[in-house]
Structure 1
Amino acid sequence: MMQTLPIPPFFDPNRVGEIWPVPYQQRATDAKAWAATHGIAPASDDSRRLCLLLIDVQNTFCLPGFELFVGGRSGQGAVDDNRRLGEFIYRNLGQITTITATLDTHQTMQVFHPYFWVDAEGNNPPPMTLIHYDDVVQGKWRVNPAVAANLSSPRDLQEYALHYTKTLNDRGKYPLTIWPYHSMLGGIGHALVPAIEEACFFHTIARQSQTRFELKGSNPLTENYSVLSPEVMEDAQGQAIAHKNTPLIQTLLEFDAVVVAGQAKSHCVAWTVADLLSDIQATDPALAQKVYLLDDCASPVVVPDVVDFTDQAEETYQRFAAAGMHRVQSTTAIADWPGNI
């Protein structure tokens, strides 16, 4: 296994929390030279294949001042996470076969955005409102009539709203959360954080391994915290409105190891890993040992004086570890991680 590499001089940990254009042509030149200097072989030569799965490392979640910045309890969570993540990618460039990056992808008229709902006076719910099944039954919140003209199905959106919130309730999921408009397709918030985008690009050139991007969350009728499965997949009549991402699950499990980082630890990371674990347990529970969770490269959602999901995230990660997954630190050499990696 290749040894830990130095961090390229262009990586500036003080700029991880900023927006700037990646100098692609220069980095392509740098990456080729870096590979030659350090004897970095093409990813196709890897005898043990490692996938780094980056969950929603996007401006909308990772930069202060953006719509859903994941600050954690420290207030700088995602910024610190991405500094460590960038360093992890560069140090382990020769050992990461493929980087797969998910992109939360939304438009205005979606079930978890304010415009989708109105109260009796026609007001949209403020961000962070929780809409329960009983709220819809009692008419506290109903689907905005303006939305119906923009969606082709289902025909009765109010009936669907009842079905959707009841399904979340019956399955013991979080109630529907109205999030601020975020990860808007075509907007700056949708893009990867520049420092991590640069690291992915550098990896692509140095290892001759294309970064794989997985879009999630564009379905207007369901939340999609997990890249592997939406929260609700059928309408009130049992007709499919969304599908499980079986191809990605199969692709991930073909690797010898899957390393997971990203935002938020309490939501999109937790949901994705939970879905992966469910598939693993239905196939071969021993496969859980392939999964490594970068504990110091993910933070929970914390909105001071509103919500704090830190404890829930910790409990979830403990459950993952009990199932056989490994909780590791980005600063520990991969060679010293548990398991046969």
Structure 2
Amino acid sequence: MNTAFEEIVSAEHIGSDSNPFGLGALIEKACREGLPEARRDGTKTCLLCVDMQRDFMEGGPLGVAGSLGDAGRLARFIYDNMTKITEIAASLDTHSPRQIFHPCWWRGADGETPAPFTVITAEDVKNGLWRPLYEKEKSEEYLEHLEAGGQKKLVIWPYHCIAGTAGFALENQLSNMMHFFSAARSSDIKKIFKGTLPATEFYGIIAPEYDPGGNYANRELLDELRRCDRLVVAGEARDYCVAQSVLQICEAMEKEKKRPEIFILEDCMSCVGGGTESVSAAYAGWAARFGLHIVKSCEDFL
């Protein structure tokens, strides 16, 4: 590569509002690299970047501790594997203020909205501790569904990734590298928008947490991923959106003979909640069940 890593990514600006590099100049440099077009790759490798958005960076309203380091290592991974990655897919959490996991959806018995990170249960609603201001029946049904599954409870998150705001955008230095790759390899970034449904969370990239009619599953994306030989996964947060994305993909392809080999970049994702040991145990279980490879970004596995 003629362009040095430091000419694309400024380590001191990761997570910052400012970006010392202009995208136009970066794309011009990328086009002059003369790298082979991605469509000619004999082995198709997709890098899936889950929700690497500014609001999830440290200092953001839903900042994940460790995310700045994750973004820097992921940018370096792309640079070091520029001719081994065929395409990059980037999911984008896409919200509006009035959604079931945001404070303004709810009112307490005292007339106040819930504080961020409040957990609301079906029993709380039945006892009048909290009441939904919108879609009452759907809200109650959703809480009951979550608790029946025993996997999650409704967490009230800080307002985050509101479509059109600065916090919705990709972290800017990682974005530099992703778009440099796109121009250098003639490979468009696939941007996946998720999370617009008001009365359910949408952690995984394939389907929302509750979709009784099966109307919102992203089957087109699954078909695209099936055509990959290797799928590399990174992003935020390790215990929510990355975990659910990995599980949804693996379960959808579990019984298929032709499916991509999946690698989890464990040093390019961090947890937003506690219980990191239980999260690690979950990934280890999926590695055993689905044949996942849990690797570090500095390892030579491609």
Name the TM-score, length of structure 2 as normaliser.
Answer: 0.94
User: Which residue matches 1:273?
Assistant: 246
Corresponding residue to 2:142 among 161, 164, 171 = 164
Secondary structure at 2:254 match in 1? helix
Please tell me whether residue 109 in structure 1 is matched to residue 101 in structure 2: no
SS in 2 for 1:283: coil
Contact conserved, 1:5 with 1:91, CA < 8 A, in 2? no
Contact kept, 8 Å, 2:5 with 2:76, in 1: the verdict is no
| Amino acid across the alignment from 2:5 | P
The answer for the alignment partner of 1:100 in structure 2 is 89
More off after superposition, 224-233 vs 11-20: 11-20
Deviation at 1:8, TM superposition (A): 2.8
Structure 1 contact 102–216 (Cα < 8 Å) conserved: yes
- Name the larger-Rg structure: 1
Note the C-alpha offset of 1:334. Answer: 3.0
For 1:161 and 1:25, how far apart are their aligned partners in 2?
Answer: 45
Equivalent position of 2:227 in the other structure: 254
SS, match of residue 334 in structure 1? coil
CA deviation profile, 1:190-244 (whole Å, cap 9, x unmatched) = 000001111111011100000010000011010001111100013xxxxx48511
Match of 2:292 in 1: 325
Contact residue 51 and residue 235 of structure 2 kept, 8 A: yes
Following superposition of structure 1 onto structure 2, how do residues 59-208 of structure 1 map, counting pairs within 5 Å?
Answer: 59-62=54-57, 64-71=58-65, 77-144=66-133, 147=134, 157-208=135-186
Listed as ranges, the gaps of 5+ residues in structure 2 are none
Aligned to 2:47: 52
How far apart, CA to CA, are the structure 1 residues paired with 2:85 and 2:236?
20
What's the offset of the Cα at 1:309?
3.2
> For residues 30 and 144 of structure 2, what CA distance do their matches in structure 1 show?
51
Write the distance in 2 (CA, Å) between the matches of 1:108 and 1:27.
34
Please state whether the residue corresponding to 1:9 is helix, strand or coil: helix
- Quick one: which amino acid aligns to residue 276 of structure 2? T
**Greater Cα shift, 293-302 or 207-216:** 293-302
CA deviation map 1:50-85 (0-9, x unaligned): 0000000000112x22111110xxxxx111111110
For residues 273 and 113 of structure 1, the distance between their equivalents in structure 2, rounded to whole angstroms, comes to 25
How far, CA to CA, are the matches of 1:173 and 1:161 in structure 2?
17
Cα deviation, residue 97, structure 1: 0.6
The residue number in structure 2 matching 1:314 is: 280
| Percent identity of paired positions between Structure 1 and Structure 2 | 32
Please say if residues 3 and 29 of structure 2, whose CA atoms lie closer than 8 Å, have aligned partners that are also in contact: no
Q: Distance in 1 between matches of 2:4 and 2:281?
A: 33
Residue 263 of structure 1 is matched in structure 2 by 236
What is the distance in 2 between the residues matched to 1:258 and 1:241? 25
State the alpha-carbon separation in 2 of the partners of residues 268 and 5 from structure 1: 36
Match of 2:264 in 1: 293
- Deviation of residue 333 (structure 1)? 1.8
Aligned length: 299
AA aligned opposite 1:86: A
Separation in 1, partners of 2:2, 2:236: 26
- In the alignment, the residues of structure 1 paired with residue 143 and residue 151 of structure 2 have an alpha-carbon distance, to the nearest angstrom, of 10
- The letter for the 2-side match of 1:329 is K
Mapped partners of 1:5, 1:309: distance in 2: 43
C-alpha separation in 2, matches of 1:122 and 1:229:
33
Q: What is the root-mean-square deviation in Å for CA atoms of aligned residues?
A: 1.8
